[in-house]
Amino acid sequence: MQSLKKVLIFTLLILFPLQLLAQLSDYDILVRDARDLISNYYWKEAEEALRKAIKIDSKRTEAYLELGKLLMMQRRWHDAKPYLNMVIKANPNHIEAHYQMAIADRQDAIGRDQIWKRIMWKNSKKHFLKVIELDSTYKEVFNEFAHLKLQQEEYEDAVNLCLRQLKIKPQASKARYDIFQFYDSFLYHGGETAVIQLRNKDAYQIKWLKSRNGPYDQYFLGEKYRRLGQFEKADSIFHALLKRLLPFPKVPIYLSLVRLYYQTDQPEKAEKTYWTAVNQLKHFWEMRFIFDDIKYIMTDHDLQQRFKSLQAVKDFYHRFWNKHNPLGSLPYNPRLAEHYKRLIKAEKDFVYDRIRLEINNPDRLNVLRLPQVVLRNTKFNDKGLVYIRYGEPDDRAVSLSDGMTSNESWLYYPTVYNPKLIFHFEIAEHAPPGDWRLIPVPSDRNMLESRLGWDPTLDRYLFANNELEARSALHELRIQAENTIAAAMERERPTWSDTLKPITINLMSARFRSVNLKNDYLVWLSIDLNSIDNLKSPDDTVTLETGLAIFDSTWNQRSRFLKNIPVFMGDTVHIFDQRYIVPYAFESELSKLYLATHVRNPKGNQLGGFRFALDAQPFDPEKLDMSDLVLGLKIEPSTEKSPFVFHNMFIEPNIGYKFKRNQLVYLYFELYNLTLKNGQTEYEIEQAVRPLKSRNLFTNLKRLFGIGTKEILITRTQVGASPTATEYSAFDFSALPAGKKELVITVKDLNSGEKVSNKIELELVD
């Protein structure tokens, strides 16, 4: 019996530890519940629980500390301080309370007037020093202290404090990244107070960095030289550092070299170095360096991406640049090059890395609902963000007048990628220099005189005859800005060099079924030879680079074709009617693909290209189905080896499907899954040609009265011995009037009763 009692007590101790057996007080339960709520982001409920705990026992400090930290999570710095102060009063050596209080005072100083700012800075410093006195290894106290120095614009002290943090804790996650921000701020602002003495901020920074000679100092000395255009010195420092064992990752060095190579017109080396930087990622925190360079052209959807592995991170950046590349078939990425050139310009002319206070927002009514990618920006003013996305504006306007707010507007003409866009910028009356912000409408109507002719509504606002008309136009402009600017800040504008000359190309594609039941695509790329420089006589030969790249629906590259082709006027295989045709064939099991194709004349500085989507489910493996319809100038069975033989059928393509009325129009298509009955298929083909419906009212009235509505309808029956059939025929449309037509093919399987149809547009010309 005694033995049984011992076993029972031992079992109870295992199932219910002594601290759980003890009765928890209401205070303890509330604090425990609040911590659980905080961990699950139920902040309002957690705050209520902590306030109840304080009412139960105002002498205990746990609830004060938890409530102070909770309010800081919500950036309610001022509200948090009384609760943290209660903890310090009860326990003057409470290190966590001092740590949190130092941060709260520092953040609460932001936006205050100079007197209150200095008081809070002084208090923050006092608490940081107390934490260091109690335990200098506590959390990242020196790094947080460095952020206070950054706020006070004491950049050298910020750098030194963060370096001290890294000496104590080399793996401190936040400090490892922040040290680069502190040095970067030093390169922009360090020595500004010494300008009166030295007359040269750059010389002061170089002297300071050289006097120290640590690995961080050496890297940023190289960065300083690069920003000053002293590329040989910078390149030498960067490559020397790459050969050394460093206390920081080499990704930032590679990204500096990417900039340097683009600045020195070495785009191939720049792109190769960029992907070296991406592939060099060894830890998740290092992706911040890559992210910081491209976040300005991301969308809010991009910002929501989460990654389970470093390989997933690297794959994302490859997909990102595949998607943003307007001509993904090129052996280089012109959009990547353009982005870095814009980024370099923005880093020189549009930096505003100080705190952006809401009080300095000239959009007083908060009309613009800007995406997170804009709101999270901490380095550039809004001019810089727009420039990185859209490049140099097509027109600028500034109004200068006594008492007028600093203002500027940028106009971008419409392109194939974007509508016409107008961005208005202003610096609020008491804002610091350089704090350019987007606004929906210029704040002074007189500013619009310099924007005259940019937009009809702007003009109407300028010339309004009365207050009612002016308010109406202003309301319309605000709604227009609300709808367009937010969307525009998630888009971008690729641009090309003004010296680049276009090559005229056209495309045609068709889908068939392969023997392994995949989609079998045929793509023809047509090059207008009249648009090629240096190809005027029969003796001329020009080597053109042609390419086709295939991406899946998430922009992973599936395959790429790239080849150089010698083009000469006497080529009887590839040239049809002054057009050089390049055929491509490929299979895919995917329902959606993105294709990019290009033609480049390297010697003539010429380029042409397209990007388009193919969206089609694979063919049904059982039901009656039909391929796309293909029209050509000549189509016939062939077993010859020719680039224009596809599925044993020679196809002389007619890109654009424009035929002369006196020409035969050849048709080719395939049928799948015909039903065999007694070993034989039997099916009916109906071929209808009719005028294409027009949106033109006059044309539709003519059709209503039977003018120009002549149609052709042909029905024939075919038999075969295979469930797959190849159909080709030729049409004489000379009896039809010129104009756009629609050819509709309907097939009925006479053995199963199934029907399938497809159609294609063509144009007959005289």
Q: In this predicted structure, what is the pLDDT of residue 526?
A: 94
pLDDT band for position 231 (cuts 50, 70, 90)? very high
Least confident of 75-89, 441-455, 704-718, 725-739: 704-718
Q: In this predicted structure, what is the pLDDT of residue 16?
A: 43
Q: Is the pLDDT of residue 190 over 70?
A: yes
Q: In this predicted structure, what is the pLDDT of residue 534?
A: 83
Distance CA 547, CA 503 (A): 14
pLDDT in tens, 46-104: 999 999 999 999 999 999 999 999 999 999 999 999 999 999 999 999 999 999 999 99
Strands of the 501-502 sheet, one edge to the other: 501-502, 606-615, 592-601, 541-551, 557-568
For residue 233, count CB atoms less than 10 angstroms from its CB and return exposed for 0-12, middle for 13-18, buried for 19 or more: middle
Distance CA 534, CA 377 (A): 48
Q: In this predicted structure, what is the pLDDT of residue 707?
A: 45
Distance CA 739, CA 708 (A): 9
Q: Which residues contact 705 (CB under 8 A, 6 or more apart)?
A: none
CA atoms within 13 A on the CB side of 152: 21
Q: In this predicted structure, what is the pLDDT of residue 4?
A: 37
DSSP state of 529: G
Q: Which residues pair with 562 in a beta bridge?
A: 547
Distance CA 289, CA 277 (A): 9
Cα angle, residue 260 at apex, residues 255 and 261 outer, rounded to 5°:
95
Q: Is the pLDDT of residue 338 over 70?
A: yes
Distance CA 484, CA 487 (A): 5
3 state SS of 678: coil
Q: In this predicted structure, what is the pLDDT of residue 698?
A: 46
Question: Is 385 in contact with 294 (CB distance < 8 Å)?
Answer: no
pLDDT band for position 230 (cuts 50, 70, 90)? very high
Q: In this predicted structure, what is the pLDDT of residue 695?
A: 56
Cα angle, residue 622 at apex, residues 618 and 627 outer, rounded to 5°:
45
Cα angle, residue 302 at apex, residues 300 and 305 outer, rounded to 5°:
115
Segment 15-21 shows an average pLDDT of 46
Q: In this predicted structure, what is the pLDDT of residue 199?
A: 65
**Two structure tokens written together for 703:** 């059709």
Segment 727-751 shows an average pLDDT of 93
Q: In this predicted structure, what is the pLDDT of residue 424?
A: 98
pLDDT in tens, 608-661: 998 999 998 889 999 999 999 999 999 999 998 899 999 999 999 998 899 999
Segment 404-415 shows an average pLDDT of 95
Least confident of 34-38, 415-419, 723-727: 415-419
Distance CA 67, CA 61 (A): 10
DSSP 364-406: TT------HHHHT--SB-HHHHHHHHH-S-SEEE----TTPPP
Q: In this predicted structure, what is the pLDDT of residue 545?
A: 95
Domains contained in the chain, CATH given: 249-349 (no CATH), 353-488 (no CATH), 499-619 (2.60.40.10), 633-766 (2.60.40)
**Two structure tokens written together for 133:** 């006195």
Nearest residue to 567 via CA among 559, 578, 557: 578
Segment 319-324 shows an average pLDDT of 95
Q: Which residues pair with 608 in a beta bridge?
A: 599
Rg from Cα positions in the chain: 35
Least confident of 27-41, 232-246, 706-720, 738-752: 706-720
Which residue type sits at 529?
L
Distance CA 740, CA 730 (A): 18
- Phi/psi at 516 (5° precision): -100, 25
Q: Cα torsion for 296, 302, 303, 307, to the nearest 10°?
A: -130
pLDDT in tens, 414-426: 988 789 999 999 9
3 state SS of 658: strand
**Two structure tokens written together for 163:** 């370096």
Q: In this predicted structure, what is the pLDDT of residue 703?
A: 47
Question: Is 739 in contact with 633 (CB distance < 8 Å)?
Answer: no
Distance CA 361, CA 372 (A): 16
- Number of helices (H) and strands (E), helices first, in the chain? 26, 24
Segment 155-183 shows an average pLDDT of 97
Q: Are strands 407-412 and 395-397 parallel, antiparallel or unpaired?
A: antiparallel
- Strand runs (DSSP E) across 577-640, as ranges? 579-588, 592-601, 606-615, 625-626, 630-637
Q: In this predicted structure, what is the pLDDT of residue 710?
A: 67
Q: In this predicted structure, what is the pLDDT of residue 22?
A: 54
With tokens 């930087």, the residue in question is: 277
Q: In this predicted structure, what is the pLDDT of residue 702?
A: 46
Compare 279 and 23 and report the one with higher pLDDT. 279
Helices (H), 109-250: 114-134, 141-151, 155-168, 173-189, 195-198, 201-210, 215-227, 231-242
Q: In this predicted structure, what is the pLDDT of residue 368?
A: 94
Mean pLDDT, the chain, integer: 91
Q: Is the pLDDT of residue 603 over 90?
A: no
Q: In this predicted structure, what is the pLDDT of residue 704?
A: 44
Q: In this predicted structure, what is the pLDDT of residue 709?
A: 56
Question: Is 411 in contact with 396 (CB distance < 8 Å)?
Answer: yes
DSSP state of 430: T
Nearest residue to 152 via CA among 101, 220, 102, 106: 106
Segment 33-44 shows an average pLDDT of 96
Percent of the chain whose pLDDT exceeds 90 = 82
Q: Is the pLDDT of residue 446 over 50?
A: yes
Q: Is the pLDDT of residue 131 over 70?
A: yes
Q: Which residues contact 577 (CB under 8 A, 6 or more apart)?
A: none
pLDDT in tens, 534-591: 887 778 899 999 999 999 999 999 999 999 999 998 888 899 888 999 999 999 999 9
Q: In this predicted structure, what is the pLDDT of residue 14?
A: 46
pLDDT band for position 319 (cuts 50, 70, 90)? very high
Cα angle, residue 124 at apex, residues 120 and 128 outer, rounded to 5°:
175
